[in-house]
């Protein structure tokens, strides 16, 4: 049976909840071992490896990112910004019993040093059925403002 | 009329008044005296390789188009229609045969010549097209770096860069024998004055403190390489506000020390390259991928910083845009350029492991500088043992504030006297 929208949404809602509540180590377990977390700059790019991105994280880089957020040794992340994110407008682009691709909208509010900022993004997930259940194999966060000047984002989108 | 601030009262050789980060009148003076009367970096050659290629950018607050014409000559033109001032181009980059203003359709050639005016008969002969080109700035280039200025009287770019030129040449060795090309950029703003960023590229002192979390994320060998405060490096004043901070002396000339062992983190890349390149070339490429061991600060808006270009653009007295432009080997192996991109992503940009911590520190300098009045910013680190090279350059240890003193000395020259002295003249 193909992966259902309900199962897919349950996983990415869990991801959003873990990130907003600082459960970064739990967040790591949601990804496949060769999964990628990508924040591209170019709105049209598909071949992320060949171009400059804001983030192009394999498992090792995701782990380092989490250590940075939890380690208390980064002045921009000690403590990390607090975030609240809303995901919606889900659309299953394709689905089989092994993988599915889902696209949705994300609106994230950030609070740090008394400044509130917000980021809108189109997010595409590729999810994969594994022995350990449904996992994230690819998450691509296409920020609405990706080609504009951003401010420091010392957390996980 | 309100009195302008007197920059001479704000700066001493070893300190500055905190108001230099926030006084809006001082900022307006800077935009005129510094950004309209010095050479301002606008582009790297590789961004506009072919005739018709253009980018849009800024010289201080002034929007400009940087464009290569049919003859291959680079023009830097104000992005302002000569009719009623609309910007003629809002694309970040592209290729074109002409620039057509979207308001009433005036059309300009690649060199800015006004070519076409719709319904020109409405001017009944009172429009001299030849007198209304897009306003061209003066443009000169050194080793791929394109600079422009509004000022027709200042000495040449060559004499402005002067003793910084050999360092530019060294920096470009990151092409590993290929030309250097840009490979995209991270662009971000921070709520603070542009000079806070200008200082930072010549500040080795902060590195082990601010970048602890970055250092935690790299291997021991890399940590040792980056443990340069207290080491053999130095900061040297190159004149005209330019300076170089050598952090890793072994990585000054990337074509030397080719028999140095390949760092562990590049072993896999080297093994891959060995299939296509002889061992000598592999070593050259690997050294290039790792980047240079120095930051070259070019007053006022460019730094050739280890492995990338840092470009600053003042937005207001208390807001600054920074671009970190990735560079690579134009024609070099894809895997090596990709390795450079990954290294850039690791440290730089709004989501890197380095830049957000820098930005936080600069943000705090800005906010802290508003506390109290008449309190100095100290610029005296390394002054006690500062000395002169035989060629006259002042230098001190790697964590000295010699580069900041150099930049502020030039700042004062520019703010009080519009000309900079040609090489060999002046102090
Ligand atoms: S403002 Fe450009 S044609 Fe009128
Ligand atoms: Fe830094």
Residues A95-117, mean pLDDT to the nearest whole number = 96
| Statement to judge: residues B111 and B172 lie in one domain | no
The DSSP bridge partners found for residue B397 are: B234
Instruction: Give the containing element (helix H, strand E) for B327.
Output: strand B319-329
Cβ contact B216–A68 (<8 Å): yes
Query: A153 in a domain, yes or no?
Result: no
| Statement to judge: residues B176 and B89 lie in one domain | no
Q: Which of B95, B111, B142 is the last residue of a domain?
A: B142
Query: B382 in a domain, yes or no?
Result: yes
State phi, psi for B168 to the nearest 5 degrees: -60, -45
* Whole-angstrom distance, CA of residue A79 vs CA of residue B195: 27
Task: Decide: helix, strand or coil at residue B303.
Answer: strand
Other residues' Cβ atoms within 10 Å of the Cβ of residue A5: 14
Residues B400-404, mean pLDDT to the nearest whole number = 98
CATH number of the domain enclosing A85: 3.10.450.50
- Whole-number Å distance, alpha carbon B319 to ligand 1 midpoint, is 31
Domain count, chain A: 1
| Statement to judge: residues B194 and B315 lie in one domain | yes
* pLDDT of B40: 98
* pLDDT of B417: 78
ipTM confidence:
0.96
Q: Is the pLDDT assigned to residue B423 strictly greater than 80?
A: no
Host domain of residue B116: 40-142
Residues A97-112, mean pLDDT to the nearest whole number = 97
| Statement to judge: residues B129 and B182 lie in one domain | no
* pLDDT of B114: 98
Cβ–Cβ under 8 Å, residues A110 and A117: yes
Query: B30 in a domain, yes or no?
Result: no
* pLDDT of A153: 93
pLDDT in tens, B370-380: 999 999 999 99
The DSSP bridge partners found for residue B256 are: none
Residues B270-294, mean pLDDT to the nearest whole number = 96
Domain count, chain B: 2
Contact A43/B at CB under 8 A = no
* pLDDT of B425: 40
| Statement to judge: residues B184 and B99 lie in one domain | no
Task: Decide: helix, strand or coil at residue B322.
Answer: strand
A-B Cβ pairs (cutoff 8 Å, strict): 92
Query: A134 in a domain, yes or no?
Result: yes
Q: How many CA atoms lie within 13 A of B386 on its CB side?
A: 22
* Whole-angstrom distance, CA of residue B253 vs CA of residue B250: 7
Q: What percent of chain B has pLDDT over 90?
A: 94
Residues B382-407, mean pLDDT to the nearest whole number = 97
CA pseudo-torsion sign B225, B229, B230, B235: positive
The DSSP bridge partners found for residue B58 are: B63
Host domain of residue A28: 5-143
* pLDDT of B424: 41
Residues 6+ positions from B251 with CB-CB distance below 8 Å: B287, B290, B291, B292, B293, B294
Q: What percent of chain B has pLDDT over 70?
A: 97
Query: B157 in a domain, yes or no?
Result: no
pLDDT in tens, B6-27: 999 999 999 999 999 999 999 9
Cβ–Cβ under 8 Å, residues B154 and B420: yes
CATH number of the domain enclosing B257: 3.90.380.10
**Model pTM score:** 0.96
Query: B422 in a domain, yes or no?
Result: no
Instruction: Give the containing element (helix H, strand E) for B7.
Output: none
* Whole-angstrom distance, CA of residue B256 vs CA of residue B293: 13
- Whole-number Å distance, alpha carbon B138 to ligand 1 midpoint, is 24
**pLDDT band at residue B58 under the 50/70/90 scheme:** very high
Q: Is the pLDDT assigned to residue B184 strictly greater than 50?
A: yes
* pLDDT of B426: 39
Query: B427 in a domain, yes or no?
Result: no
The mean pLDDT of chain B is: 95
| Statement to judge: residues B250 and B372 lie in one domain | yes
| Statement to judge: residues B254 and B322 lie in one domain | yes
CA pseudo-torsion sign B214, B220, B226, B231: positive
Q: Is the pLDDT assigned to residue B354 strictly greater than 70?
A: yes
* Whole-angstrom distance, CA of residue B313 vs CA of residue B356: 18
Cβ–Cβ under 8 Å, residues B182 and B146: no
| Statement to judge: residues B113 and B191 lie in one domain | no
Residues A84-91, mean pLDDT to the nearest whole number = 98
Q: Which of B142, B174, B207 is the last residue of a domain?
A: B142
Cβ contact A149–B351 (<8 Å): no
| Statement to judge: residues B242 and B361 lie in one domain | yes
Question: Can you tell me which atom of ligand 1 is nearest the CA of B86?
Answer: 1
* pLDDT of B2: 63
């Amino acid at each position: 049976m193909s992966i259902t929208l309900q199962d897919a949404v349950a996983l990415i809602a869990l991801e959003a909840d873990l990130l907003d509540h600082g459960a970064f180590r739990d967040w790591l377990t949601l990804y496949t071992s060769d999964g990628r977390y990508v924040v591209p700059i170019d709105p049209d790019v598909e071949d992320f490896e060949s171009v400059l991105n804001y983030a192009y994280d394999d498992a090792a880089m995701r782990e380092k990112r989490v250590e940075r957020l939890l380690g208390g040794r980064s002045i921009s992340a000690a403590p990390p910004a607090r975030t609240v994110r809303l995901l919606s407008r889900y659309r299953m682009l394709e689905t089989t019993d092994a993988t599915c691709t889902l696209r949705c909208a994300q609106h994230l509010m950030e609070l740090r040093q008394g400044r509130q900022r917000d980021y809108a993004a189109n997010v595409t997930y590729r999810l994969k059925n594994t022995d350990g259940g449904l996992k994230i194999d690819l998450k691509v966060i296409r920020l609405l403002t990706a080609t504009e000047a951003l401010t420091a984002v010392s957390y996980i989108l | 009329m309100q009195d302008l601030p007197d920059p001479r009262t704000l700066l001493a050789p070893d300190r500055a008044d905190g108001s230099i980060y926030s006084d809006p009148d001082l900022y307006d003076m800077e935009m005129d005296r510094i950004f309209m009367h010095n050479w301002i970096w606008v582009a790297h050659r590789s961004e506009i390789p072919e005739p018709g290629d253009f980018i849009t950018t800024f010289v201080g607050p002034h929007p400009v188009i940087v464009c290569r014409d049919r003859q291959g000559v680079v023009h830097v033109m104000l992005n302002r229609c000569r009719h009623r001032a609309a910007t003629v181009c809002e694309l970040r980059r592209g290729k074109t045969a002409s620039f057509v203003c979207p308001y009433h359709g005036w059309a300009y050639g690649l060199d800015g010549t006004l070519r076409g005016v719709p319904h020109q008969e409405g001017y009944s002969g009172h429009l001299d097209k030849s007198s209304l080109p897009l306003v061209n700035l003066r443009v000169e280039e050194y080793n791929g770096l394109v600079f422009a200025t509004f000022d027709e009287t200042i000495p040449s770019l060559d004499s402005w860069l002067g003793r910084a030129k050999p360092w530019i040449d060294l920096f470009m060795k990151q092409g590993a024998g290929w030309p250097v090309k840009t490979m995209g950029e991270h662009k971000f703003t921070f709520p603070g004055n542009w000079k806070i960023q200008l200082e930072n590229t010549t500040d080795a002192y902060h590195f082990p403190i601010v970048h602890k979390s970055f250092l935690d994320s790299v291997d021991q060998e890399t940590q040792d390489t980056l443990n340069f405060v207290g080491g053999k490096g130095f900061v040297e004043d190159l004149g005209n506000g330019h300076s170089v901070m050598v952090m890793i002396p072994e990585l000054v000339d990337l074509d030397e020390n080719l028999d140095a062992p390949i760092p562990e983190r590049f072993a896999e890349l080297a093994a891959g390259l060995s299939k296509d390149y002889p061992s000598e070339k592999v070593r050259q490429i690997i050294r290039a991928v790792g980047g240079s061991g120095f930051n070259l600060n070019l007053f006022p808006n460019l730094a050739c910083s280890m492995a990338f270009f840092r470009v600053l653009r003042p937005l207001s007295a208390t807001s600054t845009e920074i671009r970190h432009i990735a560079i690579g080997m134009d024609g070099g192996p894809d895997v090596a350029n990709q390795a450079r991109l990954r290294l850039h992503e690791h440290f730089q940009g709004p989501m890197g492991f380095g830049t957000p911590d820098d930005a936080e520190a600069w943000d705090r300098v800005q906010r802290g500088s508003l506390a109290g009045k008449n309190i100095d910013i100290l610029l005296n680190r390394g002054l006690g043992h500062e000395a002169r090279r035989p060629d006259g350059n002042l230098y001190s240890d790697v964590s000295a504030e010699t580069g900041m003193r150099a930049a502020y000395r030039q700042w004062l020259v520019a703010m009080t006297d519009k000309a900079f002295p040609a090489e060999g003249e002046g102090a």
